Copies of this chain bind each other. A is one copy, B any other.
Amino acid sequence: MTSRNIDYSILFNKDLPSPSGRWQGHPKYNFVGGHSDPNLVPMDRFIESAANVFKGDPRNIAMYNYEGGPQGILTLRSFLARKLAAERGIHVTTEEILITSGSGQGIELINEILLDAGDTVIVESFTFSGALSNLRRRGVNFVGVDVDQKGIRMDHLKDILEDLRTNGIRPKYIYTIPTLQNPTGTVMTMERRYQLINLSEEYEVPIFEDECYADLIFEGEYEKAIRALDDSNRVLHIGSFSKSLGPGIRLGYVVASWDVMSRLISRKNDAGTGVMDQMIVGDYFSNHYDDHIQDMRRALKRKCDVLSAALREHFGPLVDFEEPRGGMYLWAKLPSGIDSRDFVQTALNEGIAYNPGPDWSADPDAAANYIRLCFALPSEIEIWEGIAKLAKVFQLE
């Protein structure tokens, strides 16, 4: 019988990642990824919204791209147009919005239309691991620009742009997460946002603005989106519903002018993003966005406070971090000499999962002593216990 089996190992594409292991379930103290708070998923209201939308036109389900065509369900895009105007200062029509299967698909599509192997882009020195792995997979070069508490350091960016120009390289875009940066949790100042647009103009390099976390400021208001400060086509803007509702819902969006949008649509080969979640989320957020986001912000703030206190208590002076202004991550610096990658398995053996810094860094070794902690999923008790145990893993007490 065995002899009849095919040996796929000699048939596989040469560039494959390692095979996946069998699913082992989630760890008890789960600080990885962008999981959300289960208590904040509006299950009862999803039942109401499902009842609303499934009383509607069945052609939304029976057809490919029924209402609104390949750019996604109109109710959801109309909500987004209103929300982007009210919350982020971005004024666009529904024709400039593309619903995607998670914001990761937004990154994928933008890269797909703009990037060839060998191209160069600029990224923040600490940035989203998924953006970096997408670039690596494509054989695209990236240059990391330093970030501080005010966002991208413009003097460094100017140096990089000048250097690249001297070498005859025009980068394809500057990728930034200006509002609640991933992983640092910082917010770029208005001054820097304007400076960034000026540099983008001077060097003719588009800005790729990722605002996945911009719903989740803890208190007050914050800076308008970079896309709101510019009425040319130079800012490509993406966002997500995964962070405000839960990442099991794979819904994101791209805001782009038609010259880019028409290319994104023609490159979106998935026969459309699934409509059920678009319909339900469109109905729910059209009716309950403000309440939902206020609850979310309060709850995340509380958990962030617990995590900060737990880190101070259990790691003491050996940890250094700035409390984020919002979002779901805390970016913590451990003493230099520690390599956070070395402790991943030991931590997992104790039921604790964290993200080692190097995955979130354009230069992995430069973030060896950093860890990223997502505080949205675990309960307050789990945060406290998990951090106490994690400190022991790092042999800090």
Q: What residues of chain A have their CB less than 8 Å away from a CB belonging to chain B?
A: 1, 4-6, 8-9, 11-14, 16-23, 25-26, 33-41, 43-44, 46-47, 50-51, 54-66, 68-71, 95, 101-102, 104-105, 108, 112-116, 130, 134, 172, 201, 204, 206, 231-234, 242, 245-251, 258-263, 265-267, 269-277, 280, 377
Contacts and interface: CB of A to CB of B under 8 A. Distances in A.
A104 B44 CA distance: 33
* Number of copies of this chain that the complex holds: 2
A26 B66 CA distance: 8
Contacts of A206: 6, 8, 11
B51 A246 contact: no
Contacts of A271: 102, 104, 130, 242, 247, 250
16 contacts: A5-B232, A6-B204, A11-B114, A17-B266, A19-B266, A20-B70, A20-B263, A22-B258, A23-B69, A37-B62, A50-B54, A62-B248, A250-B270, A250-B273, A251-B274, A277-B277
Nearest to A206: B6
B269 A104 contact: yes
Given A231-B1, A232-B6, A280 B276 contact: yes
A275 B262 contact: no
A113 B13 contact: yes
A54 B246 CA distance: 14
Contacts of A273: 250
A305 B270 CA distance: 31
Given A19-B262, A44-B54, 9 more contacts: A20-B261, A20-B262, A43-B54, A47-B51, A50-B51, A62-B247, A101-B250, A101-B274, A250-B272
Nearest to A17: B266
Nearest to A245: B61
A35 B50 contact: no
A190 to B, nearest CB: 19
B33 A58 contact: no
A47 B54 contact: yes
Contacts of A114: 8, 11-13
Contacts of A272: 247-248, 250
A129 to B, nearest CB: 12
A130 B114 CA distance: 23
The listed residue with most B CB atoms (<10 A of its CB), out of A5, A6, A116, A172, is A6
